[in-house]
Amino acid sequence: MALKSCLECLTSFCETPLEPHLTTPGLKRPDQLINPVDNLEDRMCPKHQKPLELFCKTDQTCVCMLCTVLVHKDHEVVPLKDESEGKKAELQTTDAEIQQMIQKKRVKIEEFKRSVKISKDEADREK
Average pLDDT on 23-52 reads 68
Q: What is the pLDDT of residue 13?
A: 58
Position 5 in a domain = yes
Q: What is the pLDDT of residues 56-68, one digit of tens each?
A: 999 999 999 999 9
Q: Give how many domains the chain has, as a whole number.
A: 1
Interatomic CA distance for residues 91 and 118, integer angstroms: 40
Strand order in the sheet with 54-56: 61-63, 54-56, 77-79
β-partners of residue 77 are: 56
Position 107 in a domain = no
Position 65 in a domain = no
Q: Which domain holds residue 2?
A: 1-42
Position 36 in a domain = yes
Q: Does residue 33 have a pLDDT over 60?
A: no
Q: What is the pLDDT of residues 71-125, one digit of tens each?
A: 999 999 999 999 999 999 999 999 999 999 999 999 999 999 999 999 999 988 8
Average pLDDT on 34-42 reads 63
Position 83 in a domain = no
Average pLDDT on 1-5 reads 56
Sign, Cα dihedral of 114, 120, 125, 126: positive
- Taking alpha carbons only, the member of 58, 77, 81, 57 closest to residue 68 is 77
β-partners of residue 11 are: 6
Position 125 in a domain = no
- Taking alpha carbons only, the member of 21, 2, 23, 24 closest to residue 13 is 2
